[in-house]
A and B are shown apart, each in its own frame.
Chain A
Amino acid sequence: MSGHNDHNAQETTPAQVGGHGGHDDHGAHGTMTLTLIVWRQPNADAPGRMETYVAKGITEHHSFLEMLDVVNEDLIKTGKEPIVFDHDCREGICGMCSQVINGVPHGGQERTTVCQLHMRKFKNGDTIYIEPWRAKAFPIVKDLIVDREGLEKIMQAGGYTSVHTGGAPDANATPIPKPIAEYAMDAAECIGCGACVAACPNGSAMLFTSAKVAQFAALPQGQVEAAERVKAMVQALQDCGFGNCSNHYECQAACPKGINVQFIAHLNREYVKALFK
C-alpha cells in the first residue's frame, strides 16, 4: 500500500477538543485520546494545509465518522469551523464517504468504508493523518470533500443498456447461467466511492469503469452495445483526466467492496475486441 503524505504538515497548537465531563486523562475510563492531523482547505481555490486536533473521550464503539462528529461538536462550541467531510448512509453502501486515513483510502481495514471503520482498530495515543482523495481528476471542494463528477461522466458515456421504460420482455425469457449472474453481481457491487482512483499512483478510474463494463458485457442484455460502450467509457475516462491502469493493483487493495482487478483484464479484452469491430 503506497502511503503518500507528501504535504507539509504544519503543526499548529492542538485545539483541545472532544472532552466530555471533566478532565479525563489519556485513556481514562476505557476511552481513547488521539491526535488528528487533518487537511483543511476552505474552498477549491484557497491553499490547504494540515491542522492538528486532539480527539478525546473516544470509545472502541465509535465509528471513524462518529469520532469526527465528536471533534466537530466541540469545534463548533468553541466557535471554530468544523471539519467538513462527505458522508450519508453510514452503513457502507452509498459510497459518499471518502477519506485517506494514514495514507490509505478508507483507512487500513480490508473491505471497509470510512463509515464502517471502527475506532477499535486504533489505539489510545495514536496519531492519525486524514486527507481527502488525491487525484487530478478529483478537485478538492472543501476540506475532505472532493468533486467526483468525472465518475458521472464515465457512467453517462455508456454505463447502461439502452432500454426504454415499459415493454421489456418477461424477465425469465432469457435464462442466465448462475455463474454468469454471480460474476455480473460481483462486478455490480462497486459503490462508486472513488477509492480506486485515490489509491492508484496514476489516478486511474479503470477499476470503476471496468466493473460496469464487465457487468454488462457478461449479461446477454448488455452484449448488444458492448463494443460501443467500452470505447465510449474509456474515452470519457481519458477526457476527464483519469490516468490509465498501471498494474499496481492498489485499486483492488483499497476497494471497500473487494472489486477484483480481473475486471480490468476483462475491460482490456472488451476494448481490444471493440477496436477490431
Chain B
Amino acid sequence: MILDGKCPTGPIEKSWDKHRFDMKLVNPSNKRKYKILVVGTGLAGGAAAASLGELGYNVEAFCYQDSPRRAHSIAAQGGINAAKNYPNDGDSIQRLFYDTIKGGDFRAREADVWRLAQVSNNIIDQCVAQGVPFGRDYAGYLDNRSFGGAQVSRTFFSRGQTGQQLLLGAYSALSRQIKAGTVKMFSRTEMLDLVVVDGEAKGITVRDLITGEIRVHTGDAVLLCTGGYVNVFYLSTNAMGCSVTANWAAVKKGALMANPCYTQIHPTCIPQAGDYQSKLTLMSESLRNDGRCWVPKKAEDCGKVPGSIPEADRDYYLERKYPSFGNLAPRDIASRAAKEQCDDGRGVGPGGRGVYLDFADSIQRLGEHTIRERYGNLFEMYERITDENGYKTPMRIYPAPHYAMGGLWVDYNLMSNVPGLFVLGEANFSVHGANRLGASALMQGLADGYFVIPNTVAHYLAQTKPGVVKAEHAECKKSIQDVKDRANKFLNINGKKTVTEFMRELGTCMWENVGMARTEKSLTTAIEKIPGIREEFWKNVKVTGTGAELNQQLENAGRTADFLEFAEMLSRDALHRNESCGGHFRVEYQYDDGEAKRNDADFCYVGAWEYKGVGKEPELHKEPLKFENIHLAVRSYK
C-alpha cells in the first residue's frame, strides 16, 4: 500500500491557497442532494456540521451526550493560538508553523501544519464575530498570553474557560443550522460500526442510547470528529465517555491508525488521591505563566510544610534545566522533568507523586487580585478537589494522560485511506507530530471544522454520485446484525467482574508499561498481558439489564472491548519505534542529560497500522516525512 499524503507542491506559503483553487466545487443547487454524516459534535464536528449546513448540504450530526454543548472540547481551559502578532512581539504564520513543527519533534507533515498556522487567524475573527467573549485589554483590543513551547504571546483566552466559549460558539452556529433544518441532530446516539460499500464509506450504524434501537444512517461522506483515545490509560483528563470506539470501527473496516503511540502526558494535573478515582483533573498550562515549579532539594524535606522550606533548599528544576523557556517548557519536557524529580525521591504529597506549582512570587509581584482575575476558576477547582487554598500554599501537580496526537491516518484533504471517510480534529493524526503544544488542539479542531473540510469534502463529493447506498443495502443489514450480535454477546456472558474492573486493569497495565517512559521490556510485557485481560473480559464480564433500554453498562462494555484491542496496537507502535520523540519516550534512546534522542535516519515517517484481526499482528505502512522548509534539528529548549 502506498500512502500518499497528497500534499501540494510548490512554495509552502502558497500551498493551501493553490490547493483550494485546484479542488473541484459542488454547484450550489447540487449541494442539497448530498448527505454528510458527522460523528461527534465538539469543536471539529460542531464546526464542520454548522459550516456544511450553512453551505447547503444535508447534514446529520451525532453525539453520545444529551447535547452537542457537552463535548469534551468544553473542558479545554487555557486558550487558542493564532499568529495575529497583535502584541508586536515578532509572531508570524512562519513562526507559528516553526514552533508547531519543532514542538511536535519533527513528526508532522509540513503542509498540514502550515495550513493550520495560516487559518489560525481566520478562526479568531470567526469566533469574535460569533460573540465569543475573549479576554480584552482596557483599550478594548484582544489580549494574549503565553503557552508552553513558545516565546511569543499568541494565545487568545476567555478566562480559564476558552474551550467552553469556543465550543459554545460552534454549538450556537450548529443550533442555528438545526433550526434552519440543514442539520438534523441525533444526540444520545453512539456510532458502533462503519458501513463500507465497494471500498467507500457510505454509512454508520448507531445505537440510540435511550431506546437501544440499532439502525443505519446512510450518506455520501462520513466525518469522524470523535476526539481522542487516552482513556485507554483508564485514568486520564478525558471525559468519561471519550473512547476509541468509532475510530476502531473504522480501523476494522480498513482505515489505518497512524502513530497511536504518540499520547500526550500533560504536566499540570491534580495528583491522584485514591484507587476509587474515576478521572484526573487538568489544571490549565497557562498557570505556568505565573506559577513556578519546584521540589525540595533534599528528600528529607518532602514531608515538610512547603512554606517552611527556605529558598536555598528549593530546586526550581525547570528554570534550572531550561533557562530560556523555564516554567514554559513544552508539555513532554515538563512532564518528564516532573517525573524525574519524583523518581529521584523528591516528589511531594501522597506517595511522593507530585511537584509544587507555586504562586507566592507572582502574588507578591502582581497582587492576589490579578492572579485571581487570571486563574480564579482554576484555584477554585483545585480547592474543591484537594481542600487546599492555592493562594496560601503551593498547589501540587503531577503529569496525566491528556491528548492523543495519533489517530486515523488522513491525507492533506483530511480523508482517510477509505474514500469518503474523513477524520477531523483529535481523531486524526495530522498536525501535532509526536507532541502537541499548548493551545493548539482548539486551533486544530476549529481549523479542520470551519476552514478545511468545507473545501476538501466538496472535492470528493463533486466526483461522487449522491444517494447511491440505501438502508436496504446488504452491507447495512449485515452491519446491524453484527452490532446486535455483539451486544447480545456482552449481555449473555454473565460473569463475575464489572466492566470498570477490566478497564482499570487494562489502564494500570498501560500506565505502568506504556506510560510516560517506555522500554522494550515494558512494551513486550504489555503486549503479552493485554490479550490475557481481553480473553478474560469476554469470559467473565458482567453486564446487567438488556439491550433494548438505556444501559450504561452495555455502552461501557463496548468501549472497553474496543480499548482492549486498540491498546495492543498502541503498544506495538511504541515498541517498533526505536527512538524517543515528543510524547513517546523510550528509555533506551536518550542523551546523557536525559533528553529524548530522535532517530531521523530510520524513523522520520508516519507509522500507519493496518488491522489484521483480533490478536493478530497488524501490518505497518510508512509514509515518509519530508522537511523542506524547516531543517530537522535537535529539539532544544535550553
- Given A93-B75, A172-B142, A219-B131, A116-B384 contact (CB < 8 Å): yes
B141 & A163 in contact (Cβ 8 Å cutoff): no
- Stretch from B63-71, B528-536, B600-608 that touches the partner: B63-71
Q: Does A247 sit within 8 A of B, measured CB to CB?
A: no
Known contacts A96-B70, A141-B210, then 4 further A-B pairs from the complex at CB < 8 Å, ordered by chain A residue:
A63-B278, A95-B69, A166-B450, A172-B142
Interface centre among B66, B141, B281, B381 (most CB of A within 10 A): B66
- Stretch from A5-13, A78-86, A123-131, A264-272 that touches the partner: A78-86
Q: Which of A76, A82, A92, A215 contacts B381 (CB 8 A)?
A: A92
B69 & A159 in contact (Cβ 8 Å cutoff): no
Q: Rank and list the top 10 A-B pairs by shortest CB-CB distance, nearest first.
A: A175-B140, A160-B172, A168-B129, A156-B179, A184-B133, A171-B128, A168-B125, A185-B133, A165-B51, A94-B70
Residues of A within 8 A of B74 (CB): 89, 93-94, 191
Contact with A along B146-175 (1 / 0, CB 8 A): 000000000000110100110010011101
Q: How far is the CA of A159 from the CA of B210 in the complex (A)?
A: 27
B161 & A189 in contact (Cβ 8 Å cutoff): yes
Q: Does A244 sit within 8 A of B, measured CB to CB?
A: no
- Given A77-B542, A156-B175, A94-B65 contact (CB < 8 Å): yes
Residues of A within 8 A of B279 (CB): 90-91
Q: Return the chain A residue nearest B381 by Cβ.
A: A92
- Given A151-B67, A163-B126, A166-B451, A188-B176 contact (CB < 8 Å): no
Q: Does A88 sit within 8 A of B, measured CB to CB?
A: yes
Q: Return the chain A residue nearest B171 by Cβ.
A: A155
A82 & B552 in contact (Cβ 8 Å cutoff): yes
Q: Does B124 sit within 8 A of A, measured CB to CB?
A: yes
A215 & B133 in contact (Cβ 8 Å cutoff): yes
Contact with B along A85-108 (1 / 0, CB 8 A): 011111111111000000000000
Q: Return the chain A residue nearest B185 by Cβ.
A: A152
Q: Return the chain A residue nearest B160 by Cβ.
A: A93
Contact with B along A148-184 (1 / 0, CB 8 A): 1101100111011111111011111011111001001
Q: How far is the CA of A89 from the CA of B242 in the complex (A)?
A: 9
A169 & B129 in contact (Cβ 8 Å cutoff): yes
Contact with A along B297-324 (1 / 0, CB 8 A): 0000000000000000000000000000
Q: How far is the CA of A118 from the CA of B450 in the complex (A)?
A: 39
Q: Does B590 sit within 8 A of A, measured CB to CB?
A: no
Q: Does B273 sit within 8 A of A, measured CB to CB?
A: yes
Residues of A within 8 A of B50 (CB): 165
Q: Return the chain A residue nearest B54 by Cβ.
A: A164
Q: Does B135 sit within 8 A of A, measured CB to CB?
A: yes
Q: Which of A69, A112, A165, A177 contacts B126 (CB 8 A)?
A: A165
Residues of A within 8 A of B133 (CB): 181, 184-185, 188, 215, 219
Q: How far is the CA of A89 from the CA of B178 in the complex (A)?
A: 25
> Using a CB–CB distance below 8 Å, which chain A residues touch chain B?
42-43, 59-63, 65-66, 69-70, 73, 76-77, 79-82, 84, 86-96, 111-112, 116, 118, 120, 141-142, 145, 147-149, 151-152, 155-157, 159-166, 168-172, 174-178, 181, 184-185, 188-189, 191-192, 215-216, 219, 221-222
Q: How far is the CB of B467 from chain A (nearest CB, A)?
A: 25
- Stretch from B339-347, B543-551, B629-637 that touches the partner: B543-551
Residues of B within 8 A of A178 (CB): 136-138, 140
Residues of B within 8 A of A43 (CB): 549-550
Q: How far is the CA of A79 from the CA of B171 in the complex (A)?
A: 40
23 contacting pairs across A/B (C-beta < 8 A): A42-B549, A43-B550, A61-B273, A69-B276, A79-B542, A80-B544, A81-B545, A88-B65, A90-B240, A90-B278, A93-B164, A94-B74, A118-B385, A149-B66, A156-B175, A161-B172, A170-B125, A172-B86, A175-B141, A185-B158, A192-B69, A216-B131, A222-B131
Q: Return the chain A residue nearest B545 by Cβ.
A: A81
A159 & B278 in contact (Cβ 8 Å cutoff): no
Q: How far is the CA of A176 from the CA of B276 in the complex (A)?
A: 47
Q: How far is the CA of A174 from the CA of B131 in the complex (A)?
A: 12
B72 & A88 in contact (Cβ 8 Å cutoff): yes
Residues of A within 8 A of B137 (CB): 178
CB neighbors of A among B192-215 (8 A): 210
Which bracket fits the contact residues of B?
A: 35 or more
A118 & B131 in contact (Cβ 8 Å cutoff): no
B173 & A156 in contact (Cβ 8 Å cutoff): no
A84 & B550 in contact (Cβ 8 Å cutoff): yes
Residues of A within 8 A of B282 (CB): 91
B550 & A141 in contact (Cβ 8 Å cutoff): yes
- Given A163-B129, A178-B140, A181-B135, A88-B550 contact (CB < 8 Å): no
A93 & B161 in contact (Cβ 8 Å cutoff): yes
B387 & A118 in contact (Cβ 8 Å cutoff): yes
Q: Return the chain B residue nearest A73 by Cβ.
A: B498
B274 & A62 in contact (Cβ 8 Å cutoff): yes
Residues of B within 8 A of A69 (CB): 276, 278, 500
Residues of B within 8 A of A148 (CB): 66-67
Q: Return the chain A residue nearest B272 by Cβ.
A: A61
Q: Does B134 sit within 8 A of A, measured CB to CB?
A: yes
Q: How far is the CA of A164 from the CA of B165 in the complex (A)?
A: 18
CB neighbors of A among B53-102 (8 A): 54, 65-67, 69-72, 74-75, 84, 86
Q: Does B470 sit within 8 A of A, measured CB to CB?
A: no
B66 & A86 in contact (Cβ 8 Å cutoff): yes
Q: Does B30 sit within 8 A of A, measured CB to CB?
A: no
Residues of A within 8 A of B384 (CB): 92, 112, 116, 118
B385 & A116 in contact (Cβ 8 Å cutoff): yes
Q: How far is the CA of A197 from the CA of B599 in the complex (A)?
A: 58
Q: How far is the CB of B189 from chain A (nearest CB, A)?
A: 13
A91 & B281 in contact (Cβ 8 Å cutoff): yes
Residues of B within 8 A of A160 (CB): 130-131, 172-173, 175-176
Q: How far is the CA of A155 from the CA of B177 in the complex (A)?
A: 11
Q: Which of A96, A177, A191 contacts B66 (CB 8 A)?
A: A96
Residues of B within 8 A of A84 (CB): 550, 552
Q: Does B286 sit within 8 A of A, measured CB to CB?
A: no
Q: How far is the CA of A109 from the CA of B545 in the complex (A)?
A: 34
Q: How far is the CB of A83 from chain B (nearest CB, A)?
A: 10
Q: Does B239 sit within 8 A of A, measured CB to CB?
A: yes
Q: Return the chain B residue nearest A170 by Cβ.
A: B125
Q: Return the chain B residue nearest A177 by Cβ.
A: B140
Residues of B within 8 A of A172 (CB): 84, 86, 141-142
B500 & A156 in contact (Cβ 8 Å cutoff): no
Q: Does B380 sit within 8 A of A, measured CB to CB?
A: yes
Q: How far is the CA of A94 from the CA of B63 in the complex (A)?
A: 14
Residues of A within 8 A of B366 (CB): none
B130 & A66 in contact (Cβ 8 Å cutoff): no
Q: Does B277 sit within 8 A of A, measured CB to CB?
A: yes
Q: Does B122 sit within 8 A of A, measured CB to CB?
A: yes
Q: How far is the CB of A61 from chain B (nearest CB, A)?
A: 4
B140 & A176 in contact (Cβ 8 Å cutoff): yes
Q: How far is the CA of A243 from the CA of B501 in the complex (A)?
A: 44
Q: How far is the CA of A160 from the CA of B173 in the complex (A)?
A: 6
